[in-house]
Every structure is written in C-alpha cells, then in structure tokens.
Chain A
Amino acid sequence: GEKVEQHESTLSVREGDSAVINCTYTDTASSYFPWYKQEAGKSLHFVIDIRSNVDRKQSQRLTVLLDKKAKRFSLHITATQPEDSAIYFCAASQGGRALIFGTGTTVSVSP
C-alpha cells in the first residue's frame, strides 16, 4: 500500500521568512495530495491540495508543487506569520482509497 514520508520533523523560521516542507510517496497510482494543519490542542483542518493533473497550485501565501516523476510534493509558505505555527501533515491517495498521512512537521515561527 501507499507510504508517505515527510522529511522534516521540525522547522524553525523567523517571521517573514519562507518555509518548505517536503514529502515523498511510493504509489505511482496516487493522484490526490492534500495538506492539513493541526494547531496545538486542536484537530486537523484542510489547507490546500493538488491533483496529479497539475504540477503547481497556489492559494495566497501557500504553494504546493508536485513532481510525479520523483514522487515528491512540497508545501511552500511565504511571508510566514506567528499564526502559521502548527503541525503540518501531507497526505496522498489514489482514487477510491483513503488518505495516507505523513508523520507531520512542526513549524515554529518566531518573531
């Protein structure tokens, strides 16, 4: 089955800098790649996704890149703010199957 590896377990950035989180997946049939954010003491909520028919998607300060050849996708956060501090999870799935999640990256944005 699918396995998703999230390469950075922690990431510390200064406010205003950029943060990048990288994930790789194993199943070439995977076609849906969302990202979720979990703030302290709260549940996960959806932030952005990308499907395999495109290689880039942007939403405000968030950009997701997908490299299907390398089976790699990444989340880029620009102009980081303190409220971006959270655990970020990448995930992957193929049609009809449940999401498989990475292990999470704790992002800390310091003033």
Chain B
Amino acid sequence: NAGVIQTPRHKVTGKGQEATLWCEPISGHSAVFWYRQTIVQGLEFLTYFRNQAPIDDSGMPKERFSAQMPNQSHSTLKIQSTQPQDSAVYLCASSLTTNSDYTFGSGTRLLVI
C-alpha cells in the first residue's frame, strides 16, 4: 500500500499561470479530500468527493479553483491565473468513509512568484 500519492511534490509557477495538482487516493477509499496548509491560515478545507461525486466545495475560492475526480484512482485540483497568495502546501487525503480516519498524502508545495 503506497498510501495517498500526490504529484508533483513541488511546483513553482509564475503569477497568472495555471497549476494542476494530482492526487491518487488509496484504492477502496470512497472519500477524497483537498486541504490547503499555510502558516497563517492553518489547515483549510477546500473540497471533497464521495464515490467520485463532488459533495462539498464550500472551501474553494470561487472562479479560479476547480477540482475533479474523473475516476476512482485520481483527483485533480486546478488553479487558474495563480496569485502569490495561492502559495501553500496542498494536501490530499482519502478515507474509507467520510466519518473515518483520513490518510494524508505528502502534499504539493506550490510557490507562485
């Protein structure tokens, strides 16, 4: 079991460019979550999927952020027109059910310059 796999581990983008982050959840886990971690804001919930269906995207900044889960083996988080304030560690997690413990990936450290 390789755990939750996130790629890339690090990404540097110029302001205004697009960034796509990938997550491969643990096989058999029905719930997939995206969080953003910064020193100032801590761990912020962004969005989650259950059985590939989007359930709650209340934490997603509108307009520039979008997430998809086209199949049970991966999810993507896309940020359009990146801004310096998007710089953060983006964490993906999966769990057997919504109400069970999460397994986090190692995260993607995004730096927007």
Chain A residues with CB under 8 Å of chain B are 1, 31-32, 34, 36, 42-46, 49, 89, 93, 95-104
Contact = CB atoms under 8 A, between A and B. Distances in A.
A103 B42 contact: yes
Contacts of A31: 99
> What size tier do the contact residues of chain B reach?
20 to 34
B45 A43 contact: no
A89 B102 CA distance: 13
B25 to A, nearest CB: 14
7 contacts: A1-B58, A31-B99, A32-B99, A45-B103, A46-B101, A97-B98, A99-B33
Interface of B: 33, 35, 42-43, 45, 48, 55-56, 58, 91, 93, 98-99, 101-107
A23 to B, nearest CB: 13
A35 to B, nearest CB: 10
Nearest to B4: A43
Contacts, number: 50
A66 to B, nearest CB: 15
B91 A93 contact: no
B103 A46 contact: yes
Given A1-B58, A43-B105, A43-B107, A96 B99 contact: yes
A16 to B, nearest CB: 28
B104 A43 contact: yes
B43 A98 contact: no
B104 A100 contact: no
A99 B45 contact: yes
